[in-house]
Chain A
Amino acid sequence: MGKYITRRLMIGIVTFFGITVLVYFLSSLAPGTPLEMLFMDPNASKESVQQVQARLGLDQPVYMQYLHWLGQMLQGNMGKSYRTGHLVWADISERIGPTLLLTMSSLVFSLIITVPLGIMSAYKPYSVWDYVSSGISFIGAAIPNFFAGLVLIYLFSVRIRLFPSSGMYDASGSRSIGMMLYHMFLPMLVLSLQQMGGLIRQMRGSMLEVLQDDYVRTARAKGCLEPRVLIHHAMRNAFAPVLTRIGSMIPFLVGGAVVTEQIFAWPGLGSLMVLAINSRDYPVIMGVTVFIALAVLIGNTIVDLLYGLLDPRIRYN
């Protein structure tokens, strides 16, 4: 187990640095410099532009800039935002919470819906459950999350005023958890919808496979009750591929959060990223990138650990 985790972690760390290299070099390909965005003043003298360029280290080759940035980042210094002048860390830290909350709760919510549905539709193929599941998975895959967001806002915030359409809290100034959950419901639903299709299909597929296995027949033969057979014997084994699926879904979850946060004005990392990209605010782009890469790394490690718990064979190999 230790060896397995170490190996996975090494791969993860390489991936982490790979991502930062990738995004750093891609954003340095921009034809205009970020300075053009800083100096809207056309009268700025050449010397002063060069001075600022030197101060920000923009006169050096890209790989030097990257190494410099990396050194600083590892010491916990991610620079200042070009746009707001705040420390990047300060801008990011207040937005990690909302994004984490939104993505995690949508993951949990979609699991609560899809796991039982997947089990039922594998247990009784061509039943109502099966049709409901395949309906959800087709719609979930076909409806873009921003359109789902628009429709939900139209139905539940405009037509029947049941849920708020934006933000985390309302103007009353109260910051209760209840209020926040109330505001989070619609964006969470949108983000869940996009996960559900894949999860249902995976759960159904692996459950179908497991139900054919000998140990399930053995369990039935020795007189186990059906619910226990399904949950204790079959589901435990069917869940391993679903976990892998969750691991590979994390990037899509974060990508979906970018769009969802934008629609619902949810003050998370995604909407910060859109702001930063629009204004070519590289320190913030890089900062958010680091956190997303870190989140993917941690998420995958957790999935790997759980996988080991679920499937003892992995612990010993």
Chain B
Amino acid sequence: MKEDKINGRSSYLRDVGKRFFAHKLALFGLIMLILEIGIVLFLPAILHLDPYSMDIMAFGAAPSPKHLLGCDDTGRDLFARIVYGGRVSLTVGLCSAVISVLVGVPLGLLAGYFRGPIETVIMRCADIFMSFPSMILILVLASVFGQSLFTVTMVIGVLGWPEFARLIYSSVLSVREKDYVESARAIGAKDKEIIVRYILPNSFSPVIIAFTFRTAQAIITESALSFLGMGVQPPTASWGNILYYAQSISILANRPWAWLPTGIVLVITVLSINFLGDGIRDALDTKMVI
């Protein structure tokens, strides 16, 4: 106990780890995600999965040993498409969440640190973006810029900025008044140094938590967009555009294997990420008693 208090840093990390591993659901989420990433990375090579080639004997086929989850209308193997779709959906989710952080954090920092007119402009813009349904802006932008994987990722990512800007803004506002920032300023540290060395590290844990939830949200947004036919376009597979075909009532009613597994995988993925986010939140909460 005493030793723990002496090497503060290592005991902080140990506590974080302890709190995280005490969270059963978070552990479940982590394991599921590792499993899933392993599957989408390595399974195609192991099983020689091919999501593009069309089996002309198997248009709309039911599950069989040859095609585990059957085939879509053009004879493409649905199991392979789910696995490849997982690559796309996870990548879009992660990359767009990274973009949201890269856009939102600097803007929030500027607004919170420099105050004045910059603050007004940036935070008012954030208000405007947040009071309009981002789904509609995303639809407009995706139709304007064309529906490639790149634009879908960019659009979802860039439009996610206000959440991060607000988060970092409010924590900067409280951190900048702290004594250690004042003392840094007193010994002549420059703005850039204060931001990078003092303010950013002290306001980063809410960003990490929001990042996890954002990734889950982005995966849902991408799939909704592709479901509406305005996201990732076939032949590239994504979970959303596999589900697109279930809009036809005959596929929905007669071939549940063509859409149900994809949806379930999607839900499990999002659920796992949210569990993970909950675990990280608890783990970083220093006030929580283990």
Q: Can you add 8 more A-B contacts, CB < 8 Å, to A273-B139, A280-B143?
A: A15-B128, A22-B129, A22-B132, A30-B143, A138-B274, A147-B223, A250-B131, A259-B135
Question: A289–B136 contact, CB under 8 A?
Answer: yes
Asked whether, in the complex, the Cβ of B224 is within 8 Å of the Cβ of A144, the reply is yes
- Interface magnitude class on chain A: 35 or more
Bound Cα distance from A278 to B142, whole angstroms = 10
Q: Considering only CB atoms, which chain A residue lies closest to B272 in the complex?
A: A142
| Residues from chain A with Cβ under 8 Å of B141 in the complex | 26
User: Given the complex of chains A and B, what is the CA–CA distance between A27 and B140 in angstroms?
Assistant: 7
Residues of B within 8 A of A (CB): 124-125, 127-137, 139-141, 143-146, 216, 220, 223-224, 227-228, 230, 243, 246-247, 249, 252-253, 256, 259-260, 263, 266-267, 270-271, 274-275
Distance to closest chain A CB from B161 (angstroms): 13
Question: In the complex, which residues of chain A have a beta carbon less than 8 angstroms from the beta carbon of B252?
Answer: 150, 153-154, 158
Nearest CB of B to A279, in Å: 9
Known A-B contacts A26-B140, A26-B144, A154-B256; A258 and B266 likewise in contact (beta carbons under 8 Å) = no
Interface contact A18-B124, CB-CB below 8 Å: yes
A146 close to B243 (CB less than 8 A): yes
Is A38 on the interface with B (CB-CB < 8 A)?
A: no
Residues of A within 8 A of B (CB): 11, 14-15, 18-19, 22-23, 26-27, 29-31, 138-139, 141-147, 150-151, 153-154, 158, 165, 248, 250-252, 254-256, 258-259, 262-263, 273-274, 277-278, 280, 285, 289, 292-293, 296, 300
- Docked pose: A289 CA to B243 CA in angstroms: 28
Give the chain B neighbours of A289 by CB distance below 8 A: 132, 136
28 contacts between A and B (CB under 8 A): A14-B124, A15-B127, A18-B125, A19-B128, A26-B144, A29-B144, A30-B143, A31-B144, A138-B271, A138-B275, A146-B227, A147-B223, A147-B263, A147-B266, A151-B263, A158-B249, A158-B252, A165-B249, A251-B131, A251-B133, A254-B136, A255-B135, A255-B136, A277-B139, A278-B230, A280-B143, A289-B136, A292-B132
- Smallest CB–CB gap between A278 and chain B, Å? 7
Residue in A closest to B259 when the chains form the complex, CB atoms? A150
Q: CB < 8 Å: which of A31, A151, A273, A300 contacts B131?
A: A300
- The A-B contact count (CB < 8 A) is 126
> Is the CB–CB distance between B267 and A258 below 8 Å?
no
Partner of A147, one of B146, B243, B271: B243
Q: Are B228 and A274 in contact (CB under 8 A)?
A: yes
Contact in complex: A259, B224 (CB < 8 Å): yes
